[in-house]
């Protein structure tokens, strides 16, 4: 089975108008292990050097790092570097997937661990509410007894047709209803709306944060820093597991999709968030580089193949008085 290795460099920089005396930040930038993905190594380079650095697994199983800079500083630079191996995602045949109503019913009565965990993602969350209006939009695709994979593909195609990608149309705090009304936004908005549609008809869906490798225009070399953090959606189907769908690009997760982690919505898995004392206004800059390596470029490829193959043989879940710092959004 084909695998790809990626080197990822994610740089987040804050410049403060006035010196900050104390800043505390929570970072979710370390790619998590999944059945189709293995993080071979990860490191942070932070300037100024933090006084405190700790890490822990959060409620959703993502790796979170807490840093505290407790001396005056006028800027903060956080560089996250990772090498990640990715294998192709499993996609079921449409004919092999059950009717979507069957999936909804199974998730309500199934008492296996996977279904119980998935049930948590059927409820509204702080940034994703459910509504009859969202249900009506979803039901145009999720018609009676339609196979869930077929319905999911149709819903993605309709979003691609009905909505436009526009990085100037929304901010990190734009309400979901505004995106639905104006039909413009970025991947964070597409993912939140897609989740809202699925949850509004009783299906479990979670928000996935990660990266998407991009290609330069024909004839041009790839520029540094032009890749982006990305967001997509994962739908749970009993007997199959989680299916990753990218409504922004009307596709399913591929070798180009690299996961950092997941939660109920963006608020659970924002890459960087924090609080600080002082600083008043601030400027945020973010750059991302995702570089694919040939398998021969790494001596770890044999280990990668063994570990990912072992994961593929199992199920598709791993074991598991200041001002706010603006969080970089998924673009």
In the three-class reduction of DSSP (H, G, I as helix; E, B as strand; rest coil), residue 72 is classed as coil
Q: How far apart are CA 133 and CA 140, in angstroms?
A: 11
What mean pLDDT is reported for the chain?
87
Query: What count of other Cβ atoms lies within 10 Å of the Cβ of residue 247?
Result: 26
- State the average pLDDT over residues 303-308: 54
Amino acid 37: pLDDT = 95
- State the average pLDDT over residues 285-309: 68
Per residue in 173-182, pLDDT (tens digit) is 889 999 999 9
7 or 309: which leads in pLDDT: 7
Q: Are 84 and 9 in contact (CB under 8 A)?
A: no
Fold of 4-87+271-321: Immunoglobulin-like (2.60.40)
Q: How far apart are CA 303 and CA 284, in angstroms?
A: 38
What are phi and psi for residue 24, nearest 5 degrees?
A: -120, 135
Domain 94-268 has CATH 3.40.50.970: no
Q: How far apart are CA 39 and CA 83, in angstroms?
A: 6
Handedness of CA 47, 49, 52, 53 (dihedral sign): positive
Cis peptide bond upstream of 2, omega within 30: no
DSSP 319: -
Amino acid 202: pLDDT = 97
pLDDT above 70 covers what percent of the chain?
Answer: 85
| 94-268 and 4-87+271-321 share a CATH fold | no
Amino acid 320: pLDDT = 31
80 or 90: which leads in pLDDT: 80
Amino acid 322: pLDDT = 42
What are phi and psi for residue 14, nearest 5 degrees?
A: -115, 130
Query: What count of other Cβ atoms lies within 10 Å of the Cβ of residue 115?
Result: 17
In the chain, what are the domain boundaries?
A: 4-87+271-321, 94-268
* From 17-21, 73-77, 204-208, 211-215, the region with the lowest mean pLDDT: 211-215
Per residue in 83-132, pLDDT (tens digit) is 999 999 888 887 779 999 999 998 888 878 888 899 999 999 999 999 99
Strands (DSSP E) found in the chain: 4-27, 37-47, 52-57, 63-69, 73-86, 164-165, 184-185, 205-212, 228-237, 241-246, 251-252, 257-263, 272-278, 282-293, 323-325
Amino acid 40: pLDDT = 96
Per residue in 265-282, pLDDT (tens digit) is 999 999 999 999 987 788
Q: How far apart are CA 250 and CA 156, in angstroms?
A: 5
pLDDT(299) > 50: no
pLDDT above 90 covers what percent of the chain?
Answer: 68
Q: How far apart are CA 258 and CA 38, in angstroms?
A: 10
Residue 50 CA to chain centroid, in angstroms?
A: 26
Q: Are 138 and 155 in contact (CB under 8 A)?
A: yes
* From 21-30, 202-211, 235-244, 319-328, the region with the lowest mean pLDDT: 319-328
Cα→Cα distances 315→22, 140, 166, 309, Å: 44, 32, 37, 12
Using pLDDT thresholds of 50, 70 and 90, give the confidence band for residue 1.
low
pLDDT(165) > 90: yes
Q: How far apart are CA 139 and CA 203, in angstroms?
A: 12
Amino acid 222: pLDDT = 62
* From 8-12, 130-134, 198-202, 324-328, the region with the lowest mean pLDDT: 324-328
pLDDT(318) > 50: no
Per residue in 193-244, pLDDT (tens digit) is 999 999 999 999 999 999 998 877 676 666 555 577 899 999 999 888 999 9
Amino acid 190: pLDDT = 96
């Amino acid at each position: 089975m084909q695998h790809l290795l990626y080197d990822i460099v994610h740089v987040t920089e804050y410049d403060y108008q006035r010196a900050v005396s104390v800043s505390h930040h929570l970072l979710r930038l370390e790619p998590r292990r999944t059945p189709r993905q293995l993080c071979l190594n990860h490191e942070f380079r932070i300037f100024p050097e933090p006084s405190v650095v700790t890490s822990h697994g959060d409620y959703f199983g993502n790796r979170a790092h807490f840093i505290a800079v407790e001396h005056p500083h006028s800027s903060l630079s956080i560089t996250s570097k990772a090498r990640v191996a990715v294998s192709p995602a499993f996609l079921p045949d449409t004919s092999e997937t059950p009717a979507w109503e069957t999936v909804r019913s199974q998730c309500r009565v199934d008492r296996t661990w996977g279904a119980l965990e998935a049930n948590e993602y059927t409820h509204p969350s702080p940034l994703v509410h459910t509504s009859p209006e969202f249900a009506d939009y979803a039901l145009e695709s999720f018609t009676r007894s339609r196979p869930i994979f077929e319905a999911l593909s149709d819903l993605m195609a309709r979003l691609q047709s009905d909505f436009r990608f526009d990085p100037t149309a929304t901010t990190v705090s734009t309400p979901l209803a505004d995106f639905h009304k104006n039909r413009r936004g970025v991947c964070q908005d597409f993912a939140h709306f897609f989740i809202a549609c699925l949850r509004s008809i009783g299906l479990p869906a979670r928000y996935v944060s990660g990266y998407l490798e991009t290609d330069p225009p024909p004839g041009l070399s790839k520029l540094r820093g032009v890749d982006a953090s990305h967001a997509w959606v994962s739908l749970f189907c009993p007997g199959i597991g989680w299916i990753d769908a990218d409504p922004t690009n009307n596709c399913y997760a591929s070798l180009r999709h690299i996961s950092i982690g997941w939660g109920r919505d963006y608020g659970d898995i924002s890459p960087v968030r924090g609080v600080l004392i002082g600083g008043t206004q601030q400027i945020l800059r973010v750059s991302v580089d995702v570089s694919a390596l040939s398998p021969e470029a790494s001596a770890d490829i044999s280990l990668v193949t063994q570990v990912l193959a072992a994961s593929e043989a199992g199920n598709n879940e791993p074991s598991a008085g200041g001002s706010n710092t603006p969080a970089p959004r998924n673009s």
